[in-house]
Structure 1
Amino acid sequence: MSAATDAAAAQARILAVIRAIPRGQVMGYGEVAARAGLPGRARLVARLLGGNDDRSLPWHRVLRSDGRIALPEGSAGWREQAQRLRAEGVPVENGRVRRVRPRRDLDAEIWAPG
C-alpha cells in the first residue's frame, strides 16, 4: 500500500469518527484519533479539520483535550463553533465545554493498564 493510500485511509477513518459523534456531544482531537485507530495523532485530526470544506461535517463537536475551542478566541470560527454547540444543547462558557468523563466499565477497570 502506498503512503498516499495510507493517508487517504487514515483521513477516511478520522472523518467517519467525526461524523459518528452524536448531536449534543463532543470529543477531543486525541479521542477522535484514537477511535480512528491512530493513537497519538491528535494534530493530524486538527490539520484535517483545518482544511475541511465539507459544511455537513460536524467539525464543531471536536475540541481540545481540556474542552476548549481551539480556534482563536473571538474569531468568526470560534463564535460559529460556540453557537453550533449551544444550538445542540452543549453548554459553552468562555469558549470551554465542561466535560464529564464517562465512567469506565468493570472490564476496563480490571484489565486496563495501570
Structure 2
Amino acid sequence: MAKAPSKAFTRIRAEVIRLVGLIPEGKFTTYGSIAVHMNVVARHVATVMSHLTLEESKALPWHRVVSADARISPNMNPETAKKQRRRLKAEGMKINAEGYIQNTDEHFHVVGPRREIRWSEVKDEA
C-alpha cells in the first residue's frame, strides 16, 4: 500500500497549485521561481506538476511553468511538450526550435519574494 503524503507535502502541493493558477495569460514562470518563493527546492514543484490529476491539468495553466532557462523541459513526454509549446505560442510567446522562450523579460511572471516558511511547522488555520 502506498504511503500517504505528509502534511507538509500536502500543504506544499496546495500552494504550488494555487501559485500556478495565478500566472496570467501570456506570461510564464519557472519551477525554481515558484520554489524560491515557497522556500522549497525546484524538485518539489516539478514533482507536484508532474503528478497533477486530469481535472487539475484541465483547470490549471500548467503550461506556463518551464525550466530555469526559460525552456520547455527536454525531459518531458514529447506529446506533452508539443501541447505546452502550442499553448504558449497561442498566448503570444515565441519559442525557438530548441524550446526556449524568446523575449523572456516581456513574458516572465515574478511569483514574489522568498517566504520564510517551514512547511513542516505550518499550523492549520481554523
Q: What letter corresponds to residue 34 of structure 1 in structure 2?
A: V
Alignment match, 2:10: 8
* 1:38 matched residue in structure 2: 39
TM-score by length of 1: 0.76
The answer on whether the counterparts of 1:64 and 1:70 sit within 8 Å (CA) in structure 2 is yes
Shift of 1:13: 0.9
Q: CA deviation at 1:71?
A: 4.2
For the 8 Å contact 1:71–1:77, the answer to whether it is kept is no
Determine whether 1:84 maps to 2:84: no
Out of 50, 59, 63, the position equivalent to 2:62 is 59
Per the alignment, residue 97 of structure 1 pairs with 101
Q: Give the root-mean-square deviation of aligned CA atoms.
A: 2.1
* CA deviation vs aligned residue, 1:44-89 (integer Å, no higher than 9, x gap): 1111111112211111000111111014478111110000001111
Q: Distance in 1 between matches of 2:48 and 2:8?
A: 14
Could you list the runs of 4 or more consecutive aligned residues of structure 1 that deviate by over 3 angstroms after TM superposition?
71-74
Provide the TM-score with structure 2 as the length reference.
0.70
Structure 2 residue corresponding to 1:29, chosen from 28, 31, 51: 31
| Alignment partners' CA distance in 2, 1:89 and 1:79 | 16
CA distance in 2, matches of 1:9, 1:20: 17
Q: Which has the higher contact order (CA 8 A, sep 6+)?
A: 2
* Unpaired stretches in structure 1, ≥5 consecutive residues: 103-114
Q: 1:69 aligns with which of 68, 72, 79?
A: 72
